[in-house]
Amino acid sequence: MNRTRHKRLDTRRDRRRRDKTGRRHAGRLRDRRDRAGLAIVTIGVLVLLLCAGFYRMILGPGPSPTIGGPFTLADSEGQPRSDRSFRGRYMLIFFGYTGCTDICPQTLTEMSEALGQLDPDAARIQPIFITVDPAHDTPDRLRRYTEAFSSHLIGLTGTPDQLDSVERRFHVVVEPQAAGGRTEVDHSAVIFLLGPDGDFLAPIPADADRMAMQAALRRYVPVPSTSRS
């Protein structure tokens, strides 16, 4: 009986040791995952900052690079929209077209998801999609396209001359290409972040994922303070 009792005690001790070892191992794995996640976010932010610095270097020195400026276009309802329509809010502007099959839908998806967590009511940050293909992007097509990503995403269009002026102000390169009987449009893939006063703040790479976009926006967009009762 004593031998049986000792065996049971030894079995319980071994089980407790295994449980403690398992918990320590699980804790180390969680710590490693947390550190890896933090490292990925940090690298993403550094890449964004390097891109921003490189973009500013290309455009020349000065506290306010010549990116952006006044514009007047029309939304998908035919209503005029100018840069002054969004004063008091940050603007995230992306140029693309509804027929785009790769970078445009990917960018708008990530941008909408990022803003859905940071500013779900679009109270502080207004996402804007400006078409580079006005011949095909009719107001109705533009409305259906933007609504597929977010009800807060505003699509803008205009005459070729109006859009050419805006593209030049933002240094966006647009090159239509004939491919397989249809027209594709090569265009610069950059998201432009503008401040509440309409001034350019920073570029965000169009291939940035949701977490990288959120990290970049948190750097430039102040978090509103919550009042305590």
In a domain, 5, yes or no: no
Q: Which of 142, 122, 146 is nearest to 221 (CA)?
A: 122
30-73 pLDDT, tens digit per residue, is: 555 555 444 443 444 444 444 444 444 444 444 445 899 999 99
Q: Which domain holds residue 122?
A: 72-220
In a domain, 146, yes or no: yes
pLDDT for residue 97: 96
CATH number at 176 reads 3.40.30.10
In a domain, 167, yes or no: yes
In a domain, 149, yes or no: yes
Angle between helices 210-220 and 103-118 (to 10 degrees): 50
- Parallel, antiparallel, or unpaired: how do β-strands 154-157 and 125-131 relate? parallel
- Parallel, antiparallel, or unpaired: how do β-strands 200-205 and 190-194 relate? antiparallel
- In this predicted structure, the answer to whether residue 104 has a pLDDT above a threshold of 50 is yes
pLDDT for residue 41: 39
Question: Exposure of 64 by Cβ count < 10 A (0-12 exposed, 13-18 middle, 19+ buried)?
Answer: exposed
pLDDT for residue 121: 79
State mean pLDDT over 127-141.
95
In a domain, 29, yes or no: no
Question: How many domains is the chain partitioned into structurally?
Answer: 1
In a domain, 19, yes or no: no
Report residue 199: phi and psi, to 5°: -80, 145
Helix/strand/coil for 75: strand
In a domain, 127, yes or no: yes
pTM for this entry: 0.71
The proportion of the chain whose per-residue pLDDT surpasses 90, expressed as a percent, equals: 59
pLDDT for residue 219: 92
159-184 pLDDT, tens digit per residue, is: 999 999 999 999 999 998 876 666 78
